[in-house]
Each structure stands twice: as C-alpha cells, then as structure tokens.
Copies of this chain bind each other. A is one copy, B any other.
Amino acid sequence: DFFHALDDVQAAFGVSEEDLERCVEKGVLNYSKNIGDILTRGRLYVEQVRDSPNTSIVSTLLYGPPGSGKTALAATIALKSEFPLVKLISPRDTVAMNETQKIQYINNMFLDAYKSALNCIVLDEIETLIEWTPIGPRFSNAVAQTIKILLSKAPPPNRRLLIIATTSERSVLNQIGLLSKFTSKIPVPNVTTINELSKSLELVDFLDNESRQSICDKVQAQNGGRVGVGIKHILSHIDTAVKSSTVAGTFAELVNEEISDFSY
C-alpha cells in the first residue's frame, strides 16, 4: 500500500509528457481543413499566455462527439506549446477515487502548476471527471464547482496558465454553469463527408485506390453524402477489418453499422 501510494504521488505530480504522447500515438491525420484551423487556434492561445502582459490565465474547451479526436488534438496543442510544465488531468487517473480524493487531486495539479512560471494543463473529459450520468441526473457537484472555480482563479503573480479542456457533453457543461467560464470554445467535428473519409483512409495507406472507392460507394449508398463517424472509430474499424477475409467489405459494414446505430 505504501509503495502503491508512492506510485500514485509520482503519477499525480510527475511530468505528464509521456502520457500526452500516448494520446496521439496514432498521429493527427490532416483529413480536413478543420484540423489545421483547430491547431492554429490552439497555437494562438499558447502565444497569448506566453507573451501578453495582461493575461495570466486562458482556458479553451474542445468539444465534439465521441471519438472525434478531442483528446489527441488537446494533447498535440499542449505538447507543441513547449511550456516547461505540461500536465494531463484525465479520468483514467482518478478511477476508484472518491469525491474528496478527486477534488484534492485536481486542486493539487493546479497548485503544482502555480509553482512554475508557464504552465499548460489538459483537463480531459470533464463530463467523466464530474461523473455525469443523465439518469437522475447525477454528477458530483463538488468536483464541478472545484473545476468552475479553478477555471477562473488567476494564478499567483508572475505565473501564467493555459487550460485546454475536452468534453463530449457541451450542453451539460452549459447547464452546470461551466461553459461560460471558458475564455473560448472550439468545436471538433467528426469525419463528416465522403471526401474526408476517403482522405483519411488514403492518409493511413489503407488498401488500394479501388478498394477505398468501393468502401466510399457503400457508405454513400446507405447514408448519402453525410458520414458522421469519429476518426478514432475509423482507425479502430480498420484494425478489426484487417483480420477478416473480405477487408474492404467488412470495413464498410462496420462503418455503416455504427452510423445506423447512432441514428435510431
């Protein structure tokens, strides 16, 4: 227990760079103009925190459907900032914590950040950090209030902080009063058009031109021009399909299945 506890501390206060790198292991594919725009917006806030004489805290929220790439994009912006301290606060590290521990954990991450001159905190999946569930609805108001206060609490003099948060439940954050606390909100859309789908398959060298065309035809046949699948799921379906004898067919099926699953 003692050694376990020490590990915990390490996990909590050590450098999170490695963790952030794992979030973008599969890279960031440039399958749409959006991707570049989002990264540019991110870079702008990085500059502002680094240079502006009047700004000591900036917070930005990446919101979008499940699997659209929010975490990978947030991690990319944070890693590219080259700030001396970049940290990841993720539900994966608060599993099995009770409410009090979670609040302490989050608060300590911020207290820790206040010690360095230039900081970046990635606050991943806020809706899961507050244990949101639509039944009830239930969530930890105490964790939500902690995040709410930390989002607008200026760091001590001569300290600057950039917060990059993600959520797939924008409307929940709005209802709880968290949304208005962000300096800015950036949408992260799904792979939306057949063209974007085709582009992303090409970028990962999935099959040949013809096969990709046949996939796009099948998806278009079922759904018309609109795709609406997260890049994360597309990459996962590829991994599954390659085990099948009819790779292209299986991939198209899995994508079509997912799209129809969501629409009923």
Contacts and interface: CB of A to CB of B under 8 A. Distances in A.
A4 B153 CA distance: 19
16 contacts: A47-B243, A54-B239, A55-B239, A91-B145, A92-B152, A95-B146, A95-B153, A98-B100, A131-B145, A133-B144, A133-B176, A133-B177, A135-B139, A136-B141, A138-B141, A183-B240
Given A92-B149, A145-B128, A149-B95, A175 B55 contact: no
Interface string A56-98: 0000000000100000000000000000000000011011101
A148 interface: yes
Given A48-B240, A132-B177, A134-B177, 15 more contacts: A44-B240, A47-B243, A52-B239, A54-B239, A55-B236, A92-B149, A92-B153, A94-B149, A95-B153, A96-B107, A96-B146, A98-B142, A128-B145, A131-B145, A133-B176
Closest CB pairs A-B (n = 10): A96-B107, A92-B153, A131-B145, A95-B149, A138-B141, A91-B149, A96-B103, A52-B239, A54-B239, A55-B239
Given A44-B240, A153-B92, A236-B183, A54 B26 contact: yes
B135 A52 contact: no
A202 to B, nearest CB: 18
